[in-house]
């Protein structure tokens, strides 16, 4: 993918993430892979509603900074996911309120309440709490690194996809499922055979 286009796309999706209240203030980070060796990521400590294409930071897949700016503190788990999943071209991490509510309670998210949840997400693991930016957090993300989405205890949510649109859609759906779960209480999941059928669609 062309670098200029990747920067514009990231700025557009950051505004969308912020406007949809999937993250607040400087929380969260997002990246796209532009070649097998290079990634564009959001900068550290900036409000996601105010980012411009030129604010994004270029990194090598090994973490070398290749442009102006300081990359997100969480860039190492983004790079780890790209290295382990050749089909992943985008990673979204943020702090949506309903996902974080479940994550603070350390309550597993159930995405098999509706067909859409089962098709887009299915089983979503919860990874244990570790300090943001730490080696332990990178290791915990990597251990579940083949999941489309995960919750991070006391912290937030993470999705990946073949495109930024796919990773973003998974985040929107994840937050919807978290909200739904909090509203419907102990409603039953779809039957197992139906979930199985949907997950193959």
Identify which range of 54-62, 103-111, 148-156, 183-191 contacts Zn ion by CB under 5 A. Answer: 148-156
Question: Cβ 158 to Zn ion, closest distance in Å?
Answer: 9
Spot the catalytic one: 52, 64, 74, 107. Answer: 74
Residue among 96 and 156 whose Cβ is closer to Zn ion = 156
Token output for 16: 């969308």
Shortest Cβ distance from residue 156 to Zn ion (Å)?
A: 5
* Site stretch for Zn ion (CB under 5 A), options 64-72, 137-145, 152-160, 188-196: 152-160
Q: In degrees, to the nearest 5, what angle opens at C-alpha 7 toward C-alphas 175 and 159?
A: 25
Examine the residue annotation and report whether 173 is marked as an active-site residue of this protein.
no
CB of 23 to Zn ion, least distance (A): 8
Q: Report which DSSP code applies to 172.
A: H
Coil, strand or helix at 168: helix
Q: Which stretch binds Zn ion (CB under 5 A): 5-13, 118-126, 135-143, 151-159?
A: 151-159
Asked whether position 71 contacts Zn ion by CB under 5 A, the answer is: no
Minimum CB distance to Zn ion smaller for 111 or for 141: 141
Q: Does 156 bind Zn ion (CB under 5 A)?
A: yes
Residues 6+ apart with CB under 8 A from 41: 29, 30, 31, 56, 57, 59, 71, 72, 75, 78
Virtual CA dihedral for 140, 129, 63, 82, nearest 10 degrees? 40
Token pair belonging to 149: 């989405």
**Residue 13 to residue 143: CA distance in whole angstroms:** 27
Give the residues lining the site for Zn ion (CB under 5 A): 156
As annotated, the active-site residues are: 74
């Amino acid at each position: 993918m062309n670098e200029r286009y990747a920067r514009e796309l990231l700025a557009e999706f950051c505004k969308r993430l912020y406007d949809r209240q999937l993250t607040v203030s400087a929380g969260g980070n997002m990246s796209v892979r532009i070649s097998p060796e290079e990634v564009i990521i959001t900068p550290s400590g900036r409000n996601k509603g105010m980012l411009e294409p030129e604010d994004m930071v270029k990194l090598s897949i090994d973490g070398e900074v290749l442009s102006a700016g300081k990359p997100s503190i969480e860039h190492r788990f983004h790079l780890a996911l790209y290295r382990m999943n050749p089909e992943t071209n985008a990673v979204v991490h943020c702090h949506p309120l309903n996902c974080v509510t479940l994550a603070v309670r350390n309550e597993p998210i159930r995405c098999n309440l509706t067909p859409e949840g089962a098709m887009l997400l299915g089983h979503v693991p919860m990874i244990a709490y570790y300090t943001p930016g730490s080696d332990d957090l990178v290791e915990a993300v990597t251990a579940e690194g083949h999941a489309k989405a995960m919750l991070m205890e006391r912290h937030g949510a993470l999705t990946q996809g073949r495109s930024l649109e796919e990773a973003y859609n998974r985040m929107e759906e994840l937050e919807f499922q978290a909200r739904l779960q909090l509203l419907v209480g102990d409603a039953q999941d779809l039957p197992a055979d139906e979930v199985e059928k949907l997950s193959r669609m």
